[in-house]
Structures are given as structure tokens and as C-alpha cells.
Structure 1
Amino acid sequence: MSTSPISAAQPNAAGQTSSARIIFASFIGTAIEFYDFYVYATAAALVIGPVFFPHGSATAQALSAFVTFGIAFVARPIGSFLFGHFGDRIGRKSTLVASLLVMGVSTTLIGFVPGYDSIGSLAPILLCVLRFGQGIGLGGEWGGAALLATENAPAGKRGWFGMFPQLGPSIGFLASNGLFFALALSLSDEQFRSWGWRVPFLVSAVLVALGLYVRLKIAETPAFQAAIERKERVKVPIATLFSQHGLPTLLGALAMVVCYTLFYNATTFSLSYGVSVLHIPRPTFLGMLCIAVVFMALATPLSAWASDRYGRKPVLIVGIIAAILSGFTMAPLLGSGQTPLVLLFLVIELFLMGVTFAPMGALLPELFPTNVRYTGAGVSYNLGGILGASVAPYIAQVLAAHGGLPWVGAYVSIAAAVSMIGVLCMRETRDSQLM
């Protein structure tokens, strides 16, 4: 059921959590989770290839690194099935704590894995196992964080409340990229490849401890408590989801494709291409990404506010049209190799990522009833990741090698068109009740 502004904002004897704590708990968890994920994405673009796949050309190393990057996106739907089951059966709070632990432990352990020169082929095997663990954890994270925010939101403000988990990626990326940027400035290339790249992975342990402290302080959401009282929980949420809500799941996944493609082509692929092909210094490119992601953070609340005022679909349609057009800017801007133009390209892509990503915090939960909402939102979100992100840097690398940046730009435009189909086919959800 929908939550009144009073019940969402004030603590009560039943253990209701204040709005400030809800917002912070939904935000801090996704910020930490995405910090963990982006640490790997940045490392994949910079050092994973030489450290774990030293034999072969630079292109072969990059492709191998991006394959390990994609493994987590295969694991994420599995994580959404697993954590979604317990989130819809046991509750949002305990499941969110478990997903954070899985993600954090996997990330921290990556920082301890020896390179290929030390333990041979066991090194990439261990890396892949831990990368899979990262994906499992993140697969259960986002859906729970979005539900924590939206199921506690006052009437008419679900888009705004659902925006706070969507801010987590911007902050997580800034923290990750900022740390790599500082390391690039303070260490030599040899020091960075020897041990410096491991530091951001180890820092994750401290951040996870903070996230656990915050999440252990929150109460269960009113919508889930009401579902328990009405005895509406189902035994196997994933079976109910696919048998009764298959179309919304598919449409939600298609809608997410544009977000993933914009982000990972503007960051992981562009970083690799900019440093290795355009020969832009690593600190310079990392600095540009830090600037560009600020625009993503600024676009997020603007888009969320607009989605509450005008609806989820109109905002997404405008953003996706702009994303389709942005594909044509990749070759002239990024390909120029000129710092101002490259920065402009990164700003455009990440701003549009914020525009299209922000409404998803409310839209995906609104597509499903309470008894399968955790599973449904998470599965849609992470299936979209397989389509839009798992292979995005790899495909972009192959297209760039064979056809150049115009082909990569066309890929971005086509991915955005796929999302347009999903959005046009779905219903408007702004006025739906979370029952």
C-alpha cells in the first residue's frame, strides 16, 4: 500500500524509520556497491590485462580483461533471483545486509589475488570467481535499495525518493575514480601496476563496515509488512514473476539497456581507448571522467523531479531520443583526441545516463506487486545489464578495431533504440499504488 507523508517521515513505536535514515541507507549501500563495481571496471581498463593476461598483444589483453568484466553481469541476474527470493519471502532489510556483505568480501579479496607471474593460470581463475561473487552481490543490491526508498516514499514523491539509490552510482564512481586518479598522480606506472591498483579494492572493507552499520539500523518497509499481514507472500517469487509478470519484466530490462550502454561505453571503453589509442595520459582521462560524472549526478535529481511531475515515460522518451543522437558525436568528439572535445563527449554521455537512469529507481518497482517486487525489479535491472553492459566494452573494442569509432557510436544509438521500444510498450506507472 502507499505510505502517507507522516508515516514515512516520522519514527513510531512500531519501529518505523525516519525519512533521513531511509534515504541515507538506500543511498549509502548503492554508493558502496557501485564503488566496488567501478573499481573493477577502472582496473579492467588499466591493469587487469597486463597483470592477469600478460601473454599476447595489448588488444588481446584488453579483450580478456573485458571478458572478466562481463562475467559479473552474467552473475547479476542470478544474484537477483537469489536475493530477490529472500527479499520477497523474508524481508528487505536482512537481504540488503547480506548482498552488501557478499559484494564487499568479493571486492576486498580481489585486492589480494596474486598476478599471473606469481601463480600462473590460477590467477585469472581466482579473479573470475571473485568477479562472479561481485556480480551476485550487486544483483541483490539495487532492487532492495530501490524498494527501501520507494516503499517508504510519500504519495507523489516516489520518483524523488527513488532517486537516492540512483545517486549512489555517481558517488561510487567519483570515489573509485578519484582514488585511482590520486594513485596515478602519486605513483609511477611500475608502482601502480605492481601494487597500487590493489589499494582501492582493499579500501572497500572499510566502506562495507560503514554500510552495514547504517543498514542494521533501519526497519522493514511498510509495504512488505502489510503484505505479511495480508498473507500475500508466494513460495517461489521467481516462478510467480515469470508466469504472471513476464512482459513487465522484459520491458523493464529493455528500458535499462540505454543506461548501461551509455555509462560503460563512456567510461570503461572510452578510458581504455583514450589511454591506449589516443595516448591521453591516464591521470588526465581519469580527471575528465571525474568532471563528467558530476554532470551525471546533477542530471539525476532533475530527471527524478521531472518524472514525478510529468511521468516516467515522457522523461525517458526525451532522454532516449537524445541518447540515440549522441551516438553520432562519438567519432568527431572522442575521436578528435583533443581534451576539450573528449571532455564534452564524456559530459554528454554521462549527463544522458543520469537522465535515463534516475526514473528507473521508481519505475521498475512500480511495475510489480509487493509479493514479487524485489525479484521483479532486480531481475529487470540486471537482465538489462546483460543486454546493455556485460558485452558493451567488448563489443565496442571489437567495433573500434574493425570499423573505428563511427561503428561504436552506431552501437550506442542502436542500444538506445532498443530501450525506446521497451519504454513505448510499457504503461505509465507514476500514479500506481505500491500495494
Structure 2
Amino acid sequence: MVLGDNGVTRQVAADSRVQVRRAALASAVGTTIEWYDFFLYNTAAALVFPHLFFPASSAYAGAMQSFATYAVGFAARPVGAAIFGHWGDRIGRKATLIVTLLLMGISSGIVGMLPGTSAIGIAAPLLLVLLRLVQGIAIGGEWSGSVLLAMEWGDQRKRGLLGSFAQIGVPVGLVLGTGGMTLLSATLSPAAFDSWGWRIPFLLSLVLVAVGLVIRLKILETPMFAKLVENRQTARTPVLDAIRHHWREILLSAGVRFSEQMPFYLFTSYVLIYVVSRHEFSKTFVLNAVLVGAACELALIPLFSAMSDTFGRKRVYLCGAVLTGLIAFPYFTILAHGSHALVFVAVVVSFVPHALQYGPQAALIGESFPTHLRYGGAGLGYQLASVFAGGPAPLLATWLLHTTGTPYAISGYIVLAAVVTVLCVIFLKDRSKADIDDVTVYQRT
């Protein structure tokens, strides 16, 4: 049977819708797996690694050393963004994302099998740092590819919503990773959890990677990049070109992340140490609060992302940045002096301003770069913030509290981050309504 023109058109539209759904699913599942692995490390860095890999240190020194290895992963992210940004803009989004998924999953599985310092000495923390570097490189290359996979396939009027599928991976990964740690912490004895229980979620990441690979292998390259290849408009040195011609957008993209990323890692990682050490609250209690907050954010991210398609990215984003600054002092007041119920509510509510920013963020950054430089440019801007905002956050918070004796020094740190973000959002161009399918506009460099 031969289809008429209308039949062909309907078939093409149906095939396109299937690919959009697959791209969105691949985007969400891939980032979920990668962030599951990343957050497992964050939680373990707060609860297990200080005494497992730095047993000779004091509680303060152990926490500092553990969070230093945590920060290494963030420092490696821009390196990953540069490496995979080059190949993502040269050979395509799909192939590059398969490599990042394998890197993250395998390195996390090895962390789950790594002996402690008591067994292999100094080699243990050194191997831990090396594996954290690999994780950081993988995450650095993952984000922009996952975002573009959904953004470049779907309806351009819904870029905010489509880009949020990659962002959803953060709360889902946090729920799975933290949920696994919470379950094991609640059901095992402290000795069993510290000895072998914490390893189970890391080993399960190998199973999740296999699932993610099956899904990612079924998707096609995005139409925008396919057209770029067809027209022979791919850049020879896309990352260098992005830095040369779009350095302003890269720096502003990094700046808009300060009030989103830095407080988030305080609210999800540092809070585990602070609340448990300041109160007679159990690890499980704090993990449960983080888990509920992440579950709430899972619903809020697509909501705020869809709002950004209607009202503009910058308006929604600025609301989140301002709210982050406003809750900084009340948040630590409650953590320092509040009851169980108030602390629980404060931890959960801290996820709301993050969702206001993190939801629209993918589209806000991604649409700031032309197609032939988008993987590398967006990745560099996004991951550069990790070096100055997310990575040092728990380390600086630990130092600030130890040096000043007051948690309000950390509150001031959060307010400063909010001010940086507000200024950068103001100067970053809002392209919410612009057409980013620009392959015929930009010439090969």
C-alpha cells in the first residue's frame, strides 16, 4: 500500500513523536543514573568516608579531607565538559553520551569495592580521589548532551519543559541514592552499615548502567545535529571556538548557577554532618528529610520549567535566586535551634528555590549557544560553576563554622551567591522565544 502525501506526513509526525519520547526518556534515565552515582558519593563522603579513608584524623580534619575528595569531582567537571563537548559537537550527542554513562557507572562500581585505609594504607584515599576524578569528568560531559538530546528533538515552544527531563535526573538520582542509603542505615547496625552496607548501592549502579545503555542505544541523533552534519557545518575545534566567540555567555552561564548549585550541596550534603553533630538527631532522620525534599522537587522541576516557557526563563529563575537569599538566615536559625519538626520542614522547603532555578536552567543555558557549539559551550558554562560554587561549598561551610563559630557565616555565603546569580541573570540574554534551529545561519569555522 502506498501512502499519499497526507499519509506520509502523518507517519513522519508519528515517528518524530516516538523519537521525542525516547529522547526525553533517555535524557531522564541517563542523568538519573549518573546523578544516582554522584549523590551516593556525596552521602558517603558525609557519613562513611571520614573514618573509612581518614581514620587517623580528628572529626573536623576527617570531614575536611573527605569533602576535599568530594570537591575533586567538581574540579574535574569542566575538564569533562571540554573533552566531551569537543566530541559532542564533532561526532554527535548520542555516541558521546554512551561513553559518559559507561565511565560513571564503572567508576562507581569500583568505589563500592574499594578497601579502606586500614586494609591497603595510603593507596585507599588515593584511589578514591582518582575514581572521583573519573566521576567528575563523566558528569562534566553528561549534562549538556542529555539536555540537547531532549531540547533538539522536541517542540521548540516547549524547550523549557523538554530540557527539564535532564534536570529531573537530579532529584530522582538523589531519591534513589539517598533512599538506598537511608534504607540501609535504618535496617543495618551502625557497624554493618559502615563495614559493608554502604557498598551495596554503589555496586547496584552497574545494573542501572546496563538499563541506561539499552535505552540510549535505541534513540537517533537529534535532527538539528544531523542537519549540521549533512550541511558539513560542524566546527573543527568547537570548544576553542565557543571560548573564543562566546566567552561572555560561558561566564554568565556559570554565574547564574551560583545560587542554585552552591546552596544545593549545602542543603543535601553538608546538612547531614551539621544537623547530626549539633543535635541528637539520627543520620536516618536527616536522610529522610532530604529524601522528601527531593521527592517534592521531582514534581516542581517540570512545573517551573513549563512556567518558563510561558513567562520567560529569566523571570522564573530570578524568583528562585531571590528566594534562596531570603531563606539563608532563617534556614540556619532553624537548623541550629529548631525542633525535629521544624528542622524537617526547613530541609524540605530548601528544595523549592532550587527547583525554581534548576528547572528552567537547562533551556536558559542551552539556548544561549549556536547549534554547532552548543554541546561544548553549554557544558563549559554549566560545569565551570562547579569549580567555584558546588565543589568548595561543603568544604568552605565546614571551615566557616569552625573558624567563626556561627552558622550565620554560611548564611552570608549563600546570600553572596544569590547576589552573583541575580546580576548574571540580568545580563544573560533571554532567548525563551527565539528559534535555536540555526544550522543555516552559522557558517563552518
- Quickly name the TM-score band, shorter chain normalised: over 0.9
8 Å contact kept, 1:289–1:346: yes
Alignment of 1:247-396 (within 5 A): 247-396=248-397
8 Å contact kept, 1:293–1:351: no
8 Å contact kept, 2:76–2:140: yes
List 4+ stretches of structure 1 deviating above 4 A.
5-9
Task: Flag the 1:309–1:65 CA change in 2: closer, same or farther, 3 A.
Answer: same
8 Å contact kept, 2:263–2:393: no
- How far, CA to CA, are the matches of 2:264 and 2:36 in structure 1? 14
Q: Which amino acid aligns with 1:427?
A: K
Partner of 2:110: 109
- How far, CA to CA, are the matches of 1:6 and 1:147 in structure 2? 25
Partner of 1:417: 419
Task: Flag the 1:121–1:337 CA change in 2: closer, same or farther, 3 A.
Answer: farther
8 Å contact kept, 2:239–2:376: yes
Listed one character per residue, the Cα deviations across residues 189-236 of structure 1 (whole Å, up to 9, x for unaligned) are: 111111111111101000011001100000000010111122211111
> Helix, strand or coil: the match of 1:153?
coil
Listed one character per residue, the Cα deviations across residues 364-385 of structure 1 (whole Å, up to 9, x for unaligned) are: 1100011110001111111112
8 Å contact kept, 1:280–1:337: no
8 Å contact kept, 1:296–1:350: yes
Q: Structure 1 residue 18: deviation in Å?
A: 2.2
Q: Structure 1 residue 22: deviation in Å?
A: 1.3
| TM-score after normalising by structure 2 | 0.94
Partner of 2:153: 152
Alignment of 1:159-174 (within 5 A): 159-174=160-175
Identical aligned pairs, as a percentage? Answer: 38
Listed one character per residue, the Cα deviations across residues 400-431 of structure 1 (whole Å, up to 9, x for unaligned) are: 22222111111111111111111011111101
- How far, CA to CA, are the matches of 1:299 and 1:98 in structure 2? 30
- How far, CA to CA, are the matches of 1:406 and 1:208 in structure 2? 41
- Rg larger in structure: 2
Q: Which amino acid aligns with 2:86?
A: H
- How far, CA to CA, are the matches of 1:348 and 1:165 in structure 2? 22
- How far, CA to CA, are the matches of 1:132 and 1:19 in structure 2? 33
The answer as to 2:61 corresponding to 1:52 is no
Listed one character per residue, the Cα deviations across residues 7-59 of structure 1 (whole Å, up to 9, x for unaligned) are: 996316xxx85222111101000000000000000000101110000112111
Task: Flag the 1:104–1:7 CA change in 2: closer, same or farther, 3 A.
Answer: farther
- How far, CA to CA, are the matches of 1:7 and 1:138 in structure 2? 36
- How far, CA to CA, are the matches of 1:8 and 1:410 in structure 2? 54
8 Å contact kept, 1:45–1:269: yes
Q: Which amino acid aligns with 1:10?
A: A
Structure 2: stretches of 5+ with no match in the other structure: 1-8, 439-445
- How far, CA to CA, are the matches of 2:12 and 2:371 in structure 1? 17
Listed one character per residue, the Cα deviations across residues 238-288 of structure 1 (whole Å, up to 9, x for unaligned) are: 110111000001000101111111210101110111122323101111111
Q: Structure 1 residue 94: deviation in Å?
A: 0.3
Aligned Cα root-mean-square deviation (Å): 1.5
Q: Which amino acid aligns with 2:180?
A: L
Alignment of 1:238-253 (within 5 A): 238-253=239-254
Q: Which amino acid aligns with 1:428?
A: D
> Helix, strand or coil: the match of 1:162?
helix
**In the comparison of the two structures, how many residue pairs are matched?**
428
Task: Flag the 1:90–1:17 CA change in 2: closer, same or farther, 3 A.
Answer: farther
- How far, CA to CA, are the matches of 1:17 and 1:78 in structure 2? 34
Task: Flag the 1:245–1:188 CA change in 2: closer, same or farther, 3 A.
Answer: same
> Helix, strand or coil: the match of 1:112?
coil
| TM-score after normalising by structure 1 | 0.96
8 Å contact kept, 1:8–1:17: no
> Helix, strand or coil: the match of 1:152?
coil
